[in-house]
Structure 1
Amino acid sequence: MNLERLGWSDFFAEDYQQRFSNEWNVGRVIGQGKNIYKLATRLGEINGKATGKLLFETAASAQLPAVGDWVVFGYKNGDQFAVIHGVLERKSVFSRKVIGKNMEEQIIASNIDTVFLVSALNNDFNIRRIERYVTLA
């Protein structure tokens, strides 16, 4: 898979060079489940999990990988999961306040260049909702 087509740029390459050794692979998070991340990498699509160290060292959930993030991981052929060791710096973040919690940020997606807003024209159409989405974008 071509990383440049996924959005890899000099911005991310520079952060990778400064913070990580060349022994790690890079990939982009394209899906996120409870504790499993789907990564698009040069090796193809693989599933990954964050290391205990990464989970322990993050002060807030907003520092964990999110869809759109570039992550650094280790992976050996035959492993069930790649092991995510770190998250590269984000260029942009689409986030909101976590529902019911004190001002904690929830990352919806990161490193976004283009946003499409789509709404059905059925009985659920709501112009105020579209205005909120435009404001967020």
Structure 2
Amino acid sequence: MRVALLLPALLLSVGCAHRTAMIAPPTAGWITPVEAVQAANDDPKRGISGTFVLTVQNVDQTEHRIYLNSERDYRHQVALSVSLDAAQAEALQAQLGLPLERLVNRRLLVQGTARRNTIQFTHDGQPSGKYYFQTQVRVDDARHLRLAP
């Protein structure tokens, strides 16, 4: 009888676990993705400035931008995305000593300001009225990124 009462609570607590809970806390002074997202949500206009530490889980490149994401799904609510102009690709690879595709599972330190951005969904090039928020650190210079120790 007791097992039957405890089983639903145990199953619910196991299902709520998130992978970031298993990561050791970073060195003091670095801002984690979760802290960046929370601070950017608290003050969407100013965001939070400092040095961010993130493990790259996904690298996306468009014609205009490079995105280094702390989550595999960049739309995840605790994702922090580092955004650089695509013209910085060679400088970034030279700065880090790695091609972009080899940044997955590497820890980076990024200097900048994390801000909450509204990302509009479009249909046939027109805003659909649906959106989500993404926390981004826009970097203008590849020298603002380095591999974390």
* Band the TM-score falls in, shorter-chain normalisation: 0.3 to 0.5
Normalising by structure 2, we get a TM-score of 0.35
Task: Name which one, 1 or 2, has greater alpha-carbon Rg.
Answer: 2
Between structures 1 and 2, the one with greater helix share: 2
Q: Larger RCO: Structure 1 or Structure 2 (Cα < 8 Å, ≥ 6 residues apart)?
A: 2
Normalising by structure 1, we get a TM-score of 0.37
